Structure 1
């Protein structure tokens, strides 16, 4: 009986171990893909280069992903999920009640940090040759972010026209995007200075509108 019980317990243990190993391997491959996409660009990347970066054979890679597009979609899904979480934590009600200068710190710092720590996010979200699923999910997320900020700004400017709110929000997003590109391209010892410049520009733009709410 003891032998039968031991034998019967093995199938319940081994699948969990195999699953854990598989998850670690997938994480390893996605990390390698992120590095390759950032180094060579998505178009020039290949499954062979991703496998080489991960230190595995192409055959091992194909056990988990059929092609480069599948890798990009999985990586894009994970990054978008993390970005959505970061964005939600940045735009909390507590942050929105802060003075404008503190509000900009509370909102912009985590968004900038996310992009700095996840450079593949920019590669996958901006490339024209990225799989359509990733592009559509990013467009949907961007659209919902614009809508959310428009709702927030409408609360501060209840008498403003809808078109004015939309223009202010899109202008602010464009300023942030341009500043973020400069920050990410800057040398490490210059990033803080570029971040301060971005906040200064946004503060000077928004302060006449909502700074004295």
Structure 2
């Protein structure tokens, strides 16, 4: 590839990143429904015409932003839901599983702003639903490692309840946006999860069964 096309491609990628960051700010500030391409262009410091060179409308911007955020969260998925983490003492397991997702959601409030929008693009909702189902299944698998005697239905119910608690806690953190509140909500969220899960999966480390 010639040097000039490479430079044009790099400039285009930087401009797309700039527009997506601006869109994330606008979506968080006014919500997806009230946002507009003009507002996103203003936030990015470019003309609407420049924006339209890369995205035909607000929906296309939301779909691309949502796709990148889902991919970023999925990249944490494999690092978190491991058998090694499942066998940790319960408090350490909760830390290992919750901390990466708390950091991601509080660093990317646009993720919740998008999926909570009543008219968010269908592709964003579909990707989120698929991610949601995968996360919930992974939680159920962790629970199964810690307590194999639980039935599949019991594991999924406990996973569903645990995930609902987590989402409620993270929603409070994102709405607040304050670091002091984040620390307090994190402490309360982890305590709630610990008290809920302890009777089902125990509190100590789970040894690997002998062959």
Please say if 1:33 is aligned against 2:38. no
Which of 165, 184, 187 pairs up with 1:196?
187
CA contact (8 A) 1:29 1:61 kept: yes
**Structure 2, gaps ≥5 residues long:** 207-211
Residue 122 of structure 1 and its aligned partner are, at CA, apart by 0.6
- Secondary structure at the residue paired with 1:44? coil
**Aligned counterparts of 1:53 and 1:166: Cα–Cα separation in 2:** 43
Name segments (4+ residues, structure 1) moved above 6 Å: none
* Structure exhibiting the larger radius of gyration computed from Cα positions: 1
- When you count helix as a share of all residues, which structure comes out higher? 1
Mapping of 1:106-121 within 5 angstroms? 106-121=96-111
- Secondary structure at the residue paired with 2:55? coil
Which gives a bigger RCO, structure 1 or 2 (Cα 8 Å, sep 6+)? 2
- Secondary structure at the residue paired with 1:23? helix
**Structure 1, gaps ≥5 residues long:** 1-10
Which of 26, 32, 37 pairs up with 1:42?
32
Which of 199, 205, 208 pairs up with 2:199?
208
Residue 183 of structure 1 and its aligned partner are, at CA, apart by 2.1
Mapping of 1:64-213 within 5 angstroms? 64-186=54-176, 187-210=178-201, 211-212=203-204, 213=206
**Aligned counterparts of 1:151 and 1:48: Cα–Cα separation in 2:** 45
CA contact (8 A) 2:85 2:96 kept: yes
**Aligned counterparts of 1:103 and 1:148: Cα–Cα separation in 2:** 13
What's 2:209 paired with? Answer: none
What's 1:15 paired with? Answer: 5
RMSD: 1.4
Aligned residues: 203
